[in-house]
Structure 1
Amino acid sequence: MILQALHALYNRKKDDLPPQGFESKEIPFLIVIDKNGQFIALQDTRTKDGKKLFSKKFTVPKEKEGRSGKNAWKMANILWDHYGYVLGWPKSENDSDIQMAKKQHQSFKTAIALISNTYPNNIEIQAVKNFLAKETFDDVFASQEWQECRKIKGCNLSFILEGSTRLVCENEDIQSWCSDASTNEEDADESNDLQDKEGICLVTGERAVIARLNPRTPILGARSNAKIVAFQTNMGFDSYGKEQSYNAPVSKKASFAYSTALSYLLAKESKQKLLAGDATTVFWAEKEHQLENVFADFFGEPAKDDQTQDIKSLIAALRAPQIGARPELDPQTKFYVLGLAPNAARIAVRFWYEGTVQQILDHIE
């Protein structure tokens, strides 16, 4: 039921969430180029809140899963990545790091070349290809903004065409490319006999291509590759000759949807989560409801803008039927609370509550 509820949340919020094959990512700096690929400027996306700088989030192609180990340099992200891949800038002056950055950059260029060959008439993609064709990026490194960029460890960069309001990686051709790739590709190091298996998805009940690996959704205290659904290889949990997630089949589209919804709830700026010790609790309703905005305030200090009055108004609105008034909000709306905790490379489910808004408020006064 947990995955079904998260899947339904994605469908409710999909206009505000990344499409198939994409994710929301902080990109501190953008490389501004013209249609010929000439460097124009390095744009700082960060804004100041108090004493801290916060990078703007963009919708970018989903980060490569499993990018670790000695061959990680081969797995470049599409049209965005850290400065090693995008510009060949090493993380230190050590010779090994310099050589690694060169390999990362070549991998990035190879990925862009493949896409540019597929879409030869796409001006934005061709502009990025032309930019990357240069031998050096001295014009970028000479900009004042670069001095700020290089201070950020593993700073992510992406591209935008001069005068455009969207990143190059957000155009329609890239969306089509990434959607197809996320549906049809498995990890590059896996054999072909594990690819494109169809089955009945346990989330949607539909026949579809099943995900062999479920996406990562790390929480506070967990590893960066932690997942809520995972099967360890050759550990005695396989049955009927099935391996890994084929034991509990979830389609690739459904796994993307539920993991994207969970990532939305877990986001740094999310108002639909609570932190207590090593536990992270997220909550949501089956349809848009005011309780989603104030539920966290029942368990902690009031927000800076003090939502105490909002809470009282909400309770009064939901109590309306008891005094014969017409309810402004549906008290029978389903409400979900999911408690998670880190557990090695996985995420443990501490608790799962499913009830109605009315049942929630019956215990809060």
Structure 2
Amino acid sequence: MTILSALNTHYGRLERCGGVAPFGFSTESIAFALVLSPDGGLNSCRDLRDHTGRQPVGRPVTVPRTSKRSGTTPRAFFLWDNSKFVLGLGNGTGQPGITTYSAHAAAFRETHERLLDDATDPGLLAVLRFLRTWTPSRFGRHRLASALLDRNLVFQLDGDVDADGQARFVHDRPAARAVWERQVTISGGPSAVCLVTGRIAPVARLHPVIKGVAGARLSGGSLVSFNRNAFASYGKKQGDNAPVSEATASNYGAALNALLARNSGTKMRFGDTTAVFWASASAGGETSARNAEAVVAYALGVSRASSAYAAAFKSGWGGGGTFPELIDIRRTLERIDVALDPGTRIHILGLSPNGPRLSVRLWHETTLDLLLARLAEHWEDLRIEPRAWHRPPSPLALLQPVARRGDPETVPPVLGGEVMRAILTGGRYPRVLLTAALQRLRAGDPVTGPRAALIRAVLQRDVRHRGRGKQAGPSFTTGMEVPVSLDRQEADPAYRLGRLFALLENVQRAALGRVNASIRDRYFGAASATPASVFPLLLRNTSHHLAVLRRKSGTGGLAVWFEREMNEVMDGLDMTLPCHLHPESQGRFVVGYYHQRCARKPAPDAAEAETAAPDLPTDEG
């Protein structure tokens, strides 16, 4: 199923549930309602904003749909717009104070004079009379709040209520809806076969504006657009190059904007990509689809799960002190005492900004059980001891180890979409993920659990894709399994060199305490890339540090323990150290360093009691 077809189908589901506006309408953020008297006078201004947050935000209201304001000629909306069109006033661009927008106000008035030429409805007549008599000079006379400027405004007839007794906007009056529905019908372009539905219908000249993609323009972007001759073919213009009916274009736009809305629960971000996901209700029904979306949201770290879901996955994600271990996905789903079909279809769409357009970074269709199985495989690749995360990381958290100063804006472009594709398909992680993590370490960032886990995941997935088991002898290829926790039998030279570097650092810390620049600060990058040029110097310095420990009172046993650990690591190394380690081996160096750095010394037995060392010192003291 194509992207537009899947979104069009999802629109039908949302429409049945009342989650989207009907065809010809859209949901927009409205800040104020101008309350008019029947003669067109402005009685008051009603504040519709939500004031519960740090800053007031407009209220979502279903209004006649918008259209793109391309070109230099202002285009007005029907019975609503921002203050530049409705009042002819707004905040000036590049200059302080209120600016008059006469052309915008004239366009708004002319649009309504044309559409309401034969109107007899009191509400529509009140709007016409207001537009005919309103002048910007009356703004100060009515003492309207400056908050109206550059805000979206609607009209309301004073005292007008709906069947439930609630205040009704003019555009919701039956006469206004009839005018707009007639306008939508006659404004359609030439008919053609819709590429999405296969039906002959008027083709959309311009596709809807999509809002909510991180980094895109605040006014929104287009998923489908043709604004240059290079994008056209056979002399066709704009939407005729990819004929999609007006109804279908409106439907997919409404569905996608609903998925991208704030607090939708179906939206996540990783890198420069904003992704949405939704479930199909065609097989299991609406309840099953909603439950499937809740499971996916929890699994991807978008939202917290209900107590039922959290309990069902607790044993899979953190049971028994291991993380993560999702053994039987279907059995886990059966523990949830709600209607949930493991075969529910799941759609995931990733978008990123591209000027006035939106680029598709990711499009994936799968089933719920297969999706969670892929996630379980991904979490297994990320598994490392000590534990890097308390719960499975979200895609955004997964990219933080490769971001400078933790800023997601510094993540290499396109990386987020490639990582997410590897997670969903079970394919290899992008090689740039390993390179970016190593670059952060060479830049001086610490070897944290998330960075070590990310590096291990890239290497381990490569091993699985090559289909090779653990090799008996040393190798500088990536054919060996990458240990989850400290493996004293691991023969890989890079892994052992990482362990050795951690031991040398611990010796320095034990002998000298805190120093301005440790060997990790000075030599980690060089040791992991060119061991032969660094380790001889480090071993000579370590002999002096061990001598200091022997001379100190109470640390002689610690020196003996360090020597024994270093000998155990070095016994598995060749006498000739490698001159250079390629990125895969540098990654194994990091994993070995992390394991040895965080390893706890085992309790001594009776035979070793006299030479046993106390607990190793840490960075904290």
How does the TM-score come out when normalised to structure 2? 0.50
The whole-number CA distance in structure 1 between the counterparts of 2:136 and 2:241 is: 49
Counterpart amino acid of 1:235?
A
Q: Is the 8 A contact 2:312 2:333 kept in 1?
A: no
> 1:235-274 residue pairs with structure 2 within 5 A?
235=230, 237-239=232-234, 241-274=235-268
Q: CA deviation at 1:197?
A: 2.2
1:303-326 CA-to-partner distances (Å, cap 9, x unmatched) read 5xx43635336769x846987999
Give the aligned partner of residue 7 of structure 1: 8
Q: Does the 8 Å CA contact 1:321/1:327 hold for their aligned counterparts? A: no
Opposite residue 309 of structure 1, the aligned amino acid is S
Quickly say closer, same or farther: Cα 1:184–1:221, change in 2 above 3 A: farther
Q: Secondary structure at the match of 1:337?
A: strand
CA distance in 2, matches of 1:324, 1:60: 44
More helix by share: 2
Structure 1 segment 1-365 matched on structure 2, within 5 A: 1-14=2-15, 15-69=18-72, 71-72=73-74, 75-92=75-92, 101-119=101-119, 121-136=120-135, 141-143=140-142, 146-150=144-148, 154-163=150-159, 164=161, 165-185=167-187, 196-218=189-211, 219-223=213-217, 224=219, 226-235=221-230, 237-239=232-234, 241-287=235-281, 288=286, 289=289, 290-300=291-301, 303=303, 306-307=304-305, 309-312=307-310, 319=330, 328-364=339-375
**Structure 1 Cα separation of the partners of residues 207 and 236 of structure 2:** 15
* Aligned residue pairs, count: 343
Deviations 1:88-132 (A, max 9, x none): 22434999x98851222222222222232232x211101111222
Deviation at residue 142 of structure 1 after TM alignment: 4.4
Given residue 349 of structure 2, which amino acid in structure 1 is its aligned partner? L
SS at structure 2 position matched to 1:17:
coil
Could you say which structure has the larger radius of gyration?
2
What letter corresponds to residue 9 of structure 1 in structure 2?
H
Q: Distance in 1 between matches of 2:35 and 2:364?
A: 47
Runs of 5+ consecutive residues of structure 2 not aligned to the other structure? 162-166, 315-328, 377-621
C-alpha separation in 1, matches of 2:338 and 2:94: 67
- Change in Cα spacing, 1:251 to 1:297, as seen in structure 2 (3 Å) is same
Q: Is the 8 A contact 1:228 1:348 kept in 2?
A: yes
Change in 2 beyond 3 A, CA 1:184/1:320: farther
User: Which range moved further: 109-118 or 320-329?
Assistant: 320-329
Deviation of 1:343 after TM superposition, in Å, equals 1.7
Residues of 2 paired with 1:30 and 1:225: CA distance?
24
Q: Distance in 2 between matches of 1:345 and 1:206?
A: 29
Give the Cα separation in 2 of the matches to 1:267 and 1:68.
28
**Cα gap change, 1:237 to 1:30, in 2 (>3 Å):** closer
Q: Evaluate the alpha carbon distance shift between residue 324 and residue 26 of structure 1 in structure 2; reply closer, same or farther with a 3 A threshold.
A: closer
Within 1, Cα distance between the matches of 2:93 and 2:363? 49
Q: Secondary structure at the match of 1:48?
A: coil
Deviation by residue 1:30-62 (Cα, 9 ceiling, x = unmatched): 111233323221111112224221221111122
> Residue 57 of structure 1 aligns to which amino acid in structure 2?
P
Name the structure, 1 or 2, with higher relative contact order (CA <8 Å, separation 6+).
1
Contact 2:24/2:181 (<8 A) preserved? yes
Distance 1:103 1:332, change over 3 A: same
**Greater CA drift, 261-270 or 2-11:** 261-270
Q: Quote the Cα distance in structure 1 between the aligned partners of 2:171 and 2:195.
A: 32
Give the CA RMSD over aligned residues.
3.1
Q: In the TM superposition, what is the alpha-carbon distance from 1:28 to its structure 2 partner?
A: 0.9
Unaligned runs of 5+ in 1: 187-195
* Secondary structure in structure 1 of the residue aligned to 2:63: strand
Counting aligned pairs with the same residue, the percent is 30
Alpha-carbon offset, residue 68 of structure 1: 4.6
TM-score by length of 1: 0.82
Of the structure 1 ranges 36-45 and 22-31, higher mean CA displacement relative to structure 2 is found in 36-45
Q: How far apart in 1 are the matches of 2:32 and 2:332?
A: 53
Shift of 1:286: 1.1
Q: 1:134 to 1:41 in 2, by over 3 A?
A: same
Q: 1:167 to 1:314 in 2, by over 3 A?
A: farther
